Amino acid sequence: MTRLIVFLYLLLISSTAIAQNFTQKEKEKIKQEIEQLSAAEQNAFEIGECEKVADFFDEDVVFYAAGRKAPSVQFIQNFCSRIPRPFEKAGEITEDIYVMSPSVVHTIKVIELAEKKQREVVTKIWHKTTDGWKIIHFHSSINQL
């Protein structure tokens, strides 16, 4: 756990210098990749394809949902399976994608749940591995409006 936090910290610090060394075209390509992966991950979650959801996460992911830390990817898969569907229709959804380096992307998604008068904020850090892009950090919190 400590190694992962140190790794993330070093990635974020070094990403500023690295980010200046690749072109806007490369950043846009990475951003498009993450947009597609994020949409696929969200779709799998919405329709209950929980094994597919788990495949988006690195096995050492740091995952917090509703203030609880998930001990494993298997826990995330089980969490996904237990959530009642269909979901409440979201009001406004915004997602910002920040390309930190050629191998690190930070996303922030804000989901307005008008009927429940809640806002969910989901942040993810994606890391490009030999297996492709994986989520290495996930945090979700829900706030009352």
Instruction: CATH number for 2-144: choose from 2.30.30.110, 3.10.450.50, 1.20.1250.20, 3.30.565.10.
Output: 3.10.450.50
Nearest to 91 by CA among 66, 118, 114: 114
pLDDT band of 44, cuts 50, 70, 90 = very high
Tens of pLDDT, residues 63-82: 988 778 888 889 889 889 99
Tokens of 90: 């979201």
Coil, strand or helix at 131 = coil
Q: Who wins on pLDDT, 145 or 20? A: 145
Tens of pLDDT, residues 108-123: 999 988 777 889 999 9
Sequence spans of domains, the chain: 2-144
pTM score, two decimals? 0.81
pLDDT of residue 22: 72
